[in-house]
Amino acid sequence: MTKNSATPIQTLLSQEPVNQTHTIRGWIRSVRNSKKFSFLVVNDGSCQGSVQVIADATLVNYEAIAAMRIGFCVEIEGLLVVSGGRQGGVELQAGKVDILGEAPEDYPLQKKATSLEFLREIAHLRPRTNTFGAIFRVRNRLNYATHQFFVDRGFVQLHSPIVTGADAEGAGEMFQVTTLDLKNPPKTDKGEVDFTRDYFGHSSNLTVSGQLNAEAYALALGKVYTFGPTFRAENSNTPRHLAEFWMVEPEVAFADLEDIAQLATDYLKYLIQSALDHCREDLLFLQSLYKDDLLETLEHVASSDFKKISYTEAIEILQKADKKFEFAPDWGKDLQTEHERYLTETHFQLPVIVTDYPKDIKAFYMKQNPDKKTVGAMDILVPGVGEIMGGSQREESLEKLTVRMEEMGMNLEELSWYLDLRKYGSCTHAGFGLGFERAVMYVTGMANIRDVIAFPRTPNNCSF
């Protein structure tokens, strides 16, 4: 053992106590003093569990130890022994307690229950709670599982650009990137801001999706995926929208809508299974506080077939429903969250894949169906979250794509490189985008997306 090594508490808790000395480092969760001992509960974030440490009054700095409070940072060396407590397990008999960092009495995380709303205001300290420890260990597992899933299937990860000159959806809601002096920007003859003088020689934005770039690489490497930050300046102050979120976007050459729906289903089930296999303790903890049926639901979904219906069928189901919706379901209009949730939570009680949406409510690049009214799109809806992913088969015909873009009044010049992909060696291809935080919400059972990303960015909030 090097001087600098400590045993993670996760490892410690699974050890047989056979006269071994261990060093741990972590943060005090509680201190209880009796006449001859102090009982310290220490957590280091390696797992949900904490370890109990017995500090004997004979220790040289016992007075300082007994005066510690929640939040202190400590390094403790001790002997691992069978716990004397009712719960069994192991505990550490301290030989040495070093106080690394003190925490005054105003430490904001006191033992008494703290609300998720309050914890959002102290986003820098909330990872020290059991709840956030659990969420972020699950998030980490889903991150790892994502790479495992795609790499095992022969995908190549593409690091797509963050700053872009184009808008993938052909619509607004982007954050502009500029180095122009906003107090005194250069102007054109017409008096408009002259973006030819901006850093890139034209205006640029933060990306809303890596898809268009991913298509270029899919039509060369076959199967690619992007996994990166995505920015949307939409003014959606909802529990499911962030201004900055992470998106996983696979893109597959020679795949059609059915193939990509299958890939999306397999991926979602893989994520769930991976969390069930590796994060059971954290999921059980989250279940006990936030969602009674979390594990049951995840286990059910991991072993069920998803329902697949067309948008047209979805509208029929919604129109026949007993429920009174705020917005009446109407063919041609986008599904509202209340509609999505009815389908997945009430009607099917399973994830639902909705396909073939009206072309006018979907993006320009989606495969035009022979009916001339719908496109080969698919959204996956899950209980508690609503839309978790959106994807489509892409229009591979240069002519059809050009006509559609002209119809929508788009700038063909700007996307000429994208049209080239149809001009040179075009083929059937398809992909989807999964909002990573929506997946973390779904697997952890958390109801607000602000609680599954470390430092959420939402309208009027970019602190930390």
Residue ranges in contact with ligand ATP by CB under 6 A: 232, 234, 240-242, 245, 247, 387-390, 433-435, 437-438
- Report how far residue 239's alpha carbon sits from residue 161's, in angstroms, rounded to the nearest whole number: 27
Shortest spacing between CB 1 and ligand ATP, in angstroms: 44
**Residue placing its CB nearer to ligand ATP in the complex, 51 or 314:** 314
Q: What is the CA radius of gyration of the chain?
A: 27
Q: To the nearest whole angstrom, how small is the minimum distance from the Cβ of residue 390 to ligand ATP?
A: 3
Least Å from the CB of residue 7 to ligand ATP: 38
Provide, rounded to whole angstroms, the least separation between the CB of residue 88 and ligand ATP.
43
Give residue number: closest CB to ligand ATP.
Answer: 435
Residue 293 in contact with residue 411, Cβ under 8 Å?
no
Quick one: DSSP state of residue 344? Answer: I
Write down the least CB distance from residue 240 to ligand ATP, Å: 6
C-beta of 278 vs 457, nearer to ligand ATP: 457
* Choice between 123 and 242, CB closer to ligand ATP: 242
- Name the residue nearer to ligand ATP (CB basis): 31 or 268: 268
Q: What is the nearest approach in angstroms of ligand ATP to the Cβ of residue 314?
A: 15
Judged by beta carbon, residue 351 or residue 435, the one nearer ligand ATP is 435
Q: In sequence order, what DSSP letters do the residues of 128-171 get, joined into one string?
A: GSHHHHHHHHHHHHHHHHHHHHHHHTT-EE----SEESS-TTSS
What does 379-406 look like in DSSP terms, one character per residue? EEEETTTEEEEEEEEBP--HHHHHHHHH
DSSP state, residue 193 = B
CA atoms of 367 and 397, how far apart (whole Å): 9
If the CB atoms of residues 92 and 363 are measured against ligand ATP, the closer one turns out to be 363
In the complex with ligand ATP, the residue whose CB is nearer, 228 or 390, is 390
Q: Is 26 helix (H, G, I), strand (E, B) or coil?
A: strand
Of 1, 15, 6, nearest to 91 by C-alpha is 15
In the three-class reduction of DSSP (H, G, I as helix; E, B as strand; rest coil), residue 320 is classed as helix
Burial of 423 (0-12, 13-18, 19+ CB in 10 A): exposed
What is the nearest approach in angstroms of ligand ATP to the Cβ of residue 238?
8
